[in-house]
């Protein structure tokens, strides 16, 4: 409990500074339009690469940096954001490919129209602005991002308690607190200190790489936990720990998983809240109210899930946590690839039949959904193989 309170205090400290008010949404849309039209003018000179960089200015420097993307994602729909982001990509792709001016102009006009439609939808969602319109995004952001981290943390903490390794809980809690501090430092670095046009892309790449690294850690942890679901294997493991507790290596691996889970979500929360404060000239109190309410709900979920998992019998517990870790790895894989797409590392091939589900990391592109399907197939194959092997051993 003491460590959790320290964690919440650390979370409060990272929001102690507020930025000055930024332009309103319709002004941001006008800035994006002006920048996109500048890019088209540059393209007319034959410099496709410079034109593409100007589009990056519109996306990373305005659409994303000023909070329009994150606010739309929470207040309107992830699908609208996904379609607009894909349109940014199509404009850049057309410019780099040297497509005819007419096509580039058409794609640019479509992008501008979509941005204004986004802003109209946002203003309608917010009504006159302020009040609950400021509270709700702040509340939902914390719940959405916090829940992803909580699921990983609960599984790790429950495992340590179930296996009699409570002494390593401090290592995990310290990793959680360190992740909050590092995520704040990272967000400050990219949002405040780096002002080049590549700053936004760099942040997306960092977040994507972190997510994919977390995938590797989670899959490894999932396999290890799944291997302990068999009663004989678990008994052998316990016997090996009679005189020797969990190795420091295993403890460090679990702490690393906790660190990565909190770090990725913490950096996003900080950036989203910065955007909310930047675009709120009033009702700052309602944003803080949303933050506090979100913290309360996250704390309740944390303790409720922790208690619920600990009541599960041994074999179902390990199977549950193993499956949970693997599903979270699939979720992180989709989100990580998506971040790298936004950073320009991978291209985007749309899939019309796939919905956008942020909480599951599902996005309508071949690259993101394909990786998730492959991981799911790999997980099912590993499960069937292990089941067949267990049956043969009986």
Give the pLDDT confidence of 91-148 residue by residue, as tens digits: 999 999 999 999 999 999 999 999 999 888 877 765 444 556 668 767 877 776 777 6
Q: Using the 8-state DSSP alphabet, how is residue 192 labeled?
A: I
Residue 377: the pLDDT is 93
Q: Indicate if 103 and 243 belong to the same structural domain.
A: no
Which residues constitute the domain of residue 263? 129-393
Q: Indicate if 136 and 255 belong to the same structural domain.
A: yes
Q: Indicate if 341 and 358 belong to the same structural domain.
A: yes
Residue 22: the pLDDT is 41
Query: Which of 91, 126, 161 is where one domain is finished?
Result: 126
Residue 241: the pLDDT is 40
Q: Indicate if 44 and 149 belong to the same structural domain.
A: no
In a domain, 108, yes or no: yes
Residue 215: the pLDDT is 80
Q: Indicate if 33 and 122 belong to the same structural domain.
A: yes
Q: Indicate if 113 and 194 belong to the same structural domain.
A: no
Our CA angle for 181, 182, 186, nearest 5°, is 120
Paired tokens of 346: 């991978």
The rounded distance, in Å, linking the Cα atoms of 162 and 41 is: 64
Q: Indicate if 112 and 227 belong to the same structural domain.
A: no
Query: Which of 126, 141, 164 is where one domain is finished?
Result: 126
- In this structure, are residues 49 and 96 in contact, taking their beta carbons and an 8 Å threshold? yes
Q: Indicate if 32 and 161 belong to the same structural domain.
A: no
Q: What is the dihedral of CA 94, 99, 100, 103, to 10 degrees?
A: -30
The rounded distance, in Å, linking the Cα atoms of 317 and 11 is: 30
The rounded distance, in Å, linking the Cα atoms of 193 and 49 is: 25
Q: Is 345 helix (H, G, I), strand (E, B) or coil?
A: coil
Residue 329: the pLDDT is 82
* b (16+ CB within 10 A) / e for 272-294: bbbbbbbbbeebeebbbbbbeeb
Residue 239: the pLDDT is 44
Q: Indicate if 305 and 228 belong to the same structural domain.
A: yes
pLDDT lower than 70: segments of the chain? 1-23, 74, 125-134, 137, 144, 148, 162-163, 187, 190-203, 210, 217-218, 221, 224-251, 268, 271-272, 274-283, 308-318, 321, 359, 390-394
Residues 6 or more apart in contact with residue 333 via CB below 8 angstroms: 211, 212, 215, 361, 368, 371, 372, 375
Residue 160: the pLDDT is 76
For the chain, how big is the Rg over CA atoms in Å? Answer: 23
What is the tally of structural domains in the chain?
Answer: 2
């Amino acid at each position: 409990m003491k460590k959790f309170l320290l964690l919440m205090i650390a979370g409060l400290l990272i929001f102690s500074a507020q930025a000055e008010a930024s332009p309103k949404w319709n002004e941001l849309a006008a800035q994006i339009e002006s920048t996109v039209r500048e890019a088209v003018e540059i393209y007319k000179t034959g410099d496709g690469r410079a034109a593409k960089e100007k589009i990056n200015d519109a996306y990373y420097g305005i659409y994303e940096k000023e909070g329009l993307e994150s606010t739309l994602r929470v207040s309107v729909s992830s699908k609208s954001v996904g379609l607009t982001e894909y349109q940014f990509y199509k404009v850049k792709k057309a410019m780099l490919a040297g497509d005819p001016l007419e096509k580039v102009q058409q794609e640019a006009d479509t992008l501008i129209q979509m941005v204004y439609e986004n802003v109209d939808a946002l203003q309608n969602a917010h009504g006159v602005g302020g009040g609950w319109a400021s509270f709700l995004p702040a509340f939902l952001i914390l719940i959405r991002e916090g829940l992803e981290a909580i699921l990983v943390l609960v599984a790790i903490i429950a495992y340590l308690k179930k296996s009699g390794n409570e002494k390593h809980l401090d290592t995990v809690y310290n990793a959680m607190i360190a992740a909050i501090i590092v995520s704040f430092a990272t967000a400050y670095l990219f949002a405040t200190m780096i002002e080049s046009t590549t700053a936004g892309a760099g942040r997306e790449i960092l977040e994507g790489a972190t997510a994919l690294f977390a995938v590797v850690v989670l899959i490894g942890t999932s396999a290890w936990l799944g291997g302990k679901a068999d009663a004989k294997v678990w008994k052998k493991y316990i016997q090996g720990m009679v005189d020797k507790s969990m190795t420091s290596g295993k403890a460090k691996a679990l702490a690393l998983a906790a660190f990565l889970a909190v770090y990725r979500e913490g950096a996003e929360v900080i950036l989203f809240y910065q955007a909310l404060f930047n675009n709120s000239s009033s009702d700052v109190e309602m944003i803080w109210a949303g933050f506090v309410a979100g913290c309360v709900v996250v704390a309740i979920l944390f303790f409720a899930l922790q208690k619920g998992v600990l009541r599960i019998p041994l074999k179902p517990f390990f199977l549950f946590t193993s499956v949970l870790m693997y599903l979270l790895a699939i979720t992180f894989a989709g989100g990580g690839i998506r971040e790298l797409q936004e950073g320009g590392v991978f291209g985007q091939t749309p899939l019309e039949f796939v919905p956008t589900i942020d909480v599951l990391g599902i996005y309508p592109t071949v690259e993101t959904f394909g990786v998730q399907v492959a991981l799911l197939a790999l997980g099912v194959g590993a499960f069937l193989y292990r089941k067949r092997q267990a049956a043969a051993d009986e």
